[in-house]
Amino acid sequence: MSERQSERPPITITRGDEQQLSALANANAALFPRVTHFLTQELDRADVVSDQSPLLGVVRMGSRVTYRDETTGRVREVMLVYPDEANIDLNRISILAPVGVALIGLSVGQTIEFQTPTREKRSLTALKVSN
């Protein structure tokens, strides 16, 4: 594990989300190499639990998430969705967006630092999660 990965907070995802997201990353690797690589890294380090686990306060697919961008201080509420459901006007963010990958599996209060495709460093903190 790289030093940068070891600094990331522990994350938890369900087996079903892990399987679907792994297939999505593999199917889109040629189109979105950096973000799918980031997603694959996150899936590899995640604690994978049963689909029946309640995961209260943990970001999963379909969750509404309120987060703070630690660089700008901006607070946003978004829903984490699959690419075909993404709609920025409705605050539906794709799991294949860097912010979507950063949020998956975070628990309320956790902060993650990551690089955007343009190699900008960003840091997000999960403030509230509704599943």
Model-level pTM? 0.90
Please write the tens of the pLDDT for every residue from 5-59.
447 899 999 999 999 999 999 999 999 999 999 999 999 999 999 999 888 999 9
Grouping H, G, I as helix, E, B as strand and the rest as coil, residue 129 is strand
Could you give the CA distance from residue 57 to residue 55 in angstroms, rounded to a whole number?
6
Give me 124's structure tokens.
Answer: 């997000």
Domains along the chain with CATH numbers: 3-130 (3.10.50.30)
Could you give the CA distance from residue 39 to residue 84 in angstroms, rounded to a whole number?
17
Please write the tens of the pLDDT for every residue from 52-93.
988 899 999 999 999 999 989 999 999 999 999 999 999 999
Strands (E), the chain: 12-14, 47-49, 64-69, 75-81, 92-94, 111-115, 121-130
